[in-house]
Structures are given as structure tokens and as C-alpha cells.
Structure 1
Amino acid sequence: MRGTGAELRREDEKMKMASVSLRQSHIPQLSENERKKWNLLFAVIFNPISPHFISNAAADNSESKRGEMQQERPRILHYDESWKPCLKDIHPVYLVVYRLTAFCLLLVALSFDVAAHGGELFLYYTQWAFTLVTIYFGFGLLLSINGCLQHHKANRSSDYLVSEEVEQGLYVPLARGVNETGVKSPNRLECPGEQHCSRTASLCGYLFQILFQMTAGAVSITDTLYWTLIFPFLHIKDYELNFLTVVAHSLNAILLLGDTAFNSLGFPWYRISFFVWLTSIYVIFQWIIHACVSIWWPYPILDLSFKYAPLWYLVVALMHIPCYAIFVLLVKIKHLVLSKWFPQSYQFCP
């Protein structure tokens, strides 16, 4: 009887295990390819619409204070904001010299980096950001040179008008900026509170401003992630930094911060959408490359076969907000400090 009872218990246990395995077999199990397809579907849906949601969330957050609502509204970009320093005492030629120096340094560093590592270097988002900064300073150099020429012509015509009016004995009211004949007085005779002329910027001026805001966000997210997350992990693995790696993750940020300190370009919250679109273009570029060619992923978190790929995509998308906020905060600090220290010379409106 004992043996029979033991056999019955074993049979019962086998039946229970069989029923459990049968139930588990009916539970749908996702294969690696199926999981990759679902991750791709999530990323395709989230990637194009993320700039809209992030920019709206940033704008809503910035508009929570009444004092900041006026600053975040779109304003007209004047033609001289792309090449005129934020202080009247600084001649525009100094910004030309700075942008020329920065462009040469970045171009030399980029050339050495590509010569050392080849074209595969452009698979990294960091190299995209570094190249964009180089293009920014090259484009800004051309605009600054053109602005200096216009500034020089305006000064020469202003000197001629002033000398002619003095000979004719005409009175020039400086407060209004217009003389009795209806001719506008030169910019350097305008009152300190007047910042810009009424001439709006051209298409190149708007493209340069967008490039500045997009590049600043890209540099911020690449350098911040590298020095706070990637570098400590590599340091644990006894990874040796070379000079070009340090330059790629520091020189662009340093030079861009210097230009930000002296230029007259605004940095509103709603322009974060261009920054997010840049990242979206990079991600789509990686998808196309890996769909056509079997190649390694420059960043493992982009691998769609990874189990938590959708979560990593969401985390990286949300990180755009604090990284963009870094430059927004720096521009606001510049406005507060320079307007307080140089109230008569400061001519920038964020």
C-alpha cells in the first residue's frame, strides 16, 4: 500500500507539472526578431513625434511664470544679431577674429581625427555635433565679415551725413534719431536703450540662429553624457584617453561657450524642437545603415534587439530637456550679469 501510495503521489506530481507546462506553452513567447520588430515599431512612432511633445512640455514649463511668458514668444530677428557683439563697446571685428580662430582650431582637430580614425568616425553622434560646431563657426565667420563691411559702410555714410548737416547748421535730435530733414541719424548716435535697427534678418540670419540653438543642444548632450556616464565606465575598464578624444569632447563646448558669451543671438525654449529633430535624424540614419549593412552599433542602447531598447530611447529623448536647459540658463545668466554691469553698453535682448 505504501508503494502504491508513493507511486500515486509521483503520478499526481507529474500530472501537475504537465499541466503547468501545458499552460506555459499557451503563453505567447516573443522571439528576438519579434521583439526587435515591436521595439522598432515603438521607436518609429515615438521618434518623429518626440520633438513636438518635448518642445510643448518645455514651453509649458517655461510659461508657468508670467515674467517669462513675454520672453518665450517668437520675436523678430534683426539683421545685425548674427554678427554684432552684445556689448556696444566691443567692435564687431573682434567677433570676426574669434570665429576665425575657433573655425581654424575645429577644422584642424576634425581633419586630424578623420585622418586617424577614418570615415567610420561619422557613425558617432559626437562627431556629428563636432562637425556642426565647425560649420557654425565657418558660417558665422562669413556673416561676421559681411556684417563688418556693412558696419564700415554705415559709419562712413554716417560721418558724411553728420559733416554735411554740421555745415548746413541743422540740429540733430539724438533722442529721436531723426533729423529735421527726415534722415535717420547713425546707429552710433542712437540712445543707449535702443538695441537694433528696424531691418529684419535674411534667411541666412535665421538659419544661423537655428544652427546655433541646434548645435548648442547637441554639444551639451554629447559632452555631458560622455564625462558623466561614459568616461567613468571606461575609467573603470582602464581605458586610456588620447588627445583627440579629449579635444572632441571639450574643445567644441569651450569655443561655443565663448561665442555664446559675446554674440547677440537669443535662445528661446521653443527652439528645442530643432535639437530633437537633429537627434531623430541621426537615429533614423542609424536604422537605415543597419537595415542595409550588417555593422556594429556605435551606441549599444540604439540596438533594437536589446530587451529594454524602448526604455532607453525614452530616457535619451527626455534627457534633451535638461541638456538644452543648460544653455538656456547660461544665456539668462549672461543677460542678468551684463545688463547689470554694463547697462549703457549692453544691447542684447534674450
Structure 2
Amino acid sequence: MSALRSYGPAVGKGCTPGGSWATRFISFLVMGGLLLTDLLDWDATIFVYYTEWTFLLALVYFALGTVISAYGCWLSSKNPAASENAKNSVPMKRDVEDIGTAATSITYMEDESTSAVSLQSHSAEEAILERAGFWGYLMQIIYQTCAGAIVLTDIVFWCLIVPFLSNTHLGLNALMGCIHSFNAVFIVLDTLLNNLPFPWFRIAYFVQWSCIYAIFQWIIHACGFTWWPYSFLELDTPWAPLWYFLVAVIHIPCYGIYALIFKAKNTIFPRLFPRAFVRSF
């Protein structure tokens, strides 16, 4: 999987690299504004929450995606696709033989155009792999980690914390609702437009991300932090092993839910955009 797919749109004719750049840049601005507002309303202690960790990670993804998409736009401007005007130069006559000849000519020109675009895409791919390859692959890892983590945070927030576990440390207000909604909206929108893969083995990064957060909680509590942001993470209860086991297991359906979204895109979009859709793998 090349870094070229990091900026390439899934719907080639419906969304240009510039469209991908604009979407990611707007997502970055909106999410950055929400995070800054949350930080000003409270303080840096908001980062004891897994939600804020994931939100910040998504912000990094959109920042990196904006830069890589801009680089893709620059490459596209240097290597524009072959013009389709040549197709219009083929005379279309009513005579059956002439129509057949014209159709053959059009097919030949389309093949030539496709070959030219393929060569240009291959050159762009090599350039990105050479200059931005590491960042492209890093972007993929962050994207796949964010996808599962966002599903996890939003499910826990809306289905568990809001109805049952709200407390004085959780500011349940419109801002929190936006944070736990826009993160999913923007990452799903990006999934619909991007051409990044979503393999199952990358669930390992999602699990590692959650493990890092759990270790962080253990460390700050060992250093004297007095309250737990999520009561099911408390270690001094007899149910702690069960809670931790359930939290570990829930990573599988959370990642699976996003894998279904990814699969639905690859199933539905080819029918809606049969000539424009570029399938992700």
C-alpha cells in the first residue's frame, strides 16, 4: 500500500485531491476549535480522559492528512491527467461502418489516455514514497487507530457514561456532545473520500493505544492522582479484572463496526460511481 493513497480520493472524478485537502483542512479547523474551547473552559486536566487523547490523535491525523493532500495536489498540478479533448476529435457519422471505426478509435484513445494517467500516477507514487513515504504510512496507522478509538469513545460516552456514570468531573454539555459527535462525523466523511486501506491486523495499533492510556492512568494514580476518569478502570474493586477484560474484548466489535463502514463504502460506491470509484484494499 503506497503513500499515494493517503491523499488520493476514493471517488476519482467526483472528488479531486483538492476536495480531499479542503475536507481534511476544515475538519482540522473545526476539531481544533472544539479542543481549544474545551481546554480553555477547563484546563490541561482534560487530557486524563481517553476521549481527549483520541480527539487529539484525530486532530494530528487531519493535520498530517492536510499536508499530504496538499502535496498530492501539488503533484497533480505538475502531472495533470491526459486531456480528454482528443476523444471529441473523432468524427461520429451515422454510417454503421464509420460508427464502428469511430468506436474503435475512441477505445484506442481511451487506452492511450489510461496508460498516460497510469504512468503519471506511478511517477507520483514513487515520488511520494521517496519523499513522504514514512509520513504516509504513519498517517495510515493513525487513521486506523483513530477509527476504532472513536467508535469506542462514542459508544462508551453515549451508551454508558451519559445514562449511568456522569459525575462532577464530566461536564456534560453541548461542547461535550459536539466532541463526541463531530469526531465520528469527520472520520467517517474522510473514510468516504479517502483511499486508505483498513486491514484487520491494524487492530493491534488500536489495542496498543488503549494499553498506553491504561498504563498512563496507573502511573498518575501511583503518583498520587486521586480520582478515576472512568469508574470501570478503578483497580481497588473486586470487579476490576472483569471490567478490564470487557474493555479489552469490546475493542474487537468497535474495530469491526468501522470495518463494516469501510466494507459498505467499497460495496455501495462502485454501484453509484462505476467509472470514478477507486476501490480501497
1:105 corresponds to 2:36: no
Cα offset, 1:197, TM superposition? 7.4
For each residue in 1:12-59, what CA deviation from the matched residue of structure 2 results, as whole angstroms up to 9, or x when unmatched? xxxxxxxxxxxxxxxxxxxxxxxxxxxxxxxxxxxxxxxxxxxxxxxx
Equivalent pairs counted in the alignment come to 252
Q: 1:256 aligns with which of 168, 187, 199?
A: 187
- What residue number does 2:210 align with? 279
Q: 1:186 aligns with which of 100, 109, 117?
A: 117
Structure 1 residues 316, 196: closer, same or farther in 2, change over 3 A?
farther
- What residue number does 2:268 align with? 337
- What residue number does 1:128 align with? 53
Separation in 1, partners of 2:125, 2:71: 18
- What residue number does 2:18 align with? 93
- What residue number does 1:223 align with? 154
1:312 corresponds to 2:229: no
- What residue number does 1:83 align with? 7
Q: Normalising by structure 2, what TM-score?
A: 0.82
Separation in 1, partners of 2:165, 2:223: 30
Residue identity over aligned pairs, in percent, reads 36
Structure 1 residues 234, 277: closer, same or farther in 2, change over 3 A?
closer
Structure 1 residues 98, 85: closer, same or farther in 2, change over 3 A?
same
Separation in 2, partners of 1:138, 1:177: 34
Separation in 2, partners of 1:258, 1:215: 13
Answer whether contact 1:174 1:185 (CA < 8 A) is retained: no
**In structure 2, what residue type is equivalent to 1:290?**
H
| Ranges in structure 2 where 5+ consecutive residues have no aligned partner | 87-107
Structure 1 residues 124, 189: closer, same or farther in 2, change over 3 A?
closer
Cα offset, 1:347, TM superposition? 1.1
Larger Rg: 1
Cα offset, 1:302, TM superposition? 1.5
Structure 1 residues 205, 220: closer, same or farther in 2, change over 3 A?
same
Cα offset, 1:211, TM superposition? 0.4
- What residue number does 1:140 align with? 65
Q: How do residues 11-26 of structure 1 correspond to structure 2 at under 5 angstroms?
A: none
Cα offset, 1:143, TM superposition? 0.4
**In structure 2, what residue type is equivalent to 1:100?**
F
**In structure 2, what residue type is equivalent to 1:82?**
S
> RMSD of aligned C-alpha atoms?
2.8
Cα offset, 1:207, TM superposition? 0.5
Secondary structure at the aligned position of 2:80 is classed as helix
1:152 corresponds to 2:77: yes
Answer whether contact 2:3 2:137 (CA < 8 A) is retained: no
Q: Normalising by structure 1, what TM-score?
A: 0.66
Structure 1 residues 93, 188: closer, same or farther in 2, change over 3 A?
farther
Separation in 2, partners of 1:236, 1:287: 21
Q: 1:118 aligns with which of 31, 43, 49?
A: 43
Answer whether contact 1:266 1:349 (CA < 8 A) is retained: yes
**In structure 1, what residue type is equivalent to 2:191?**
T
| Ranges in structure 1 where 5+ consecutive residues have no aligned partner | 1-76, 163-171, 179-183
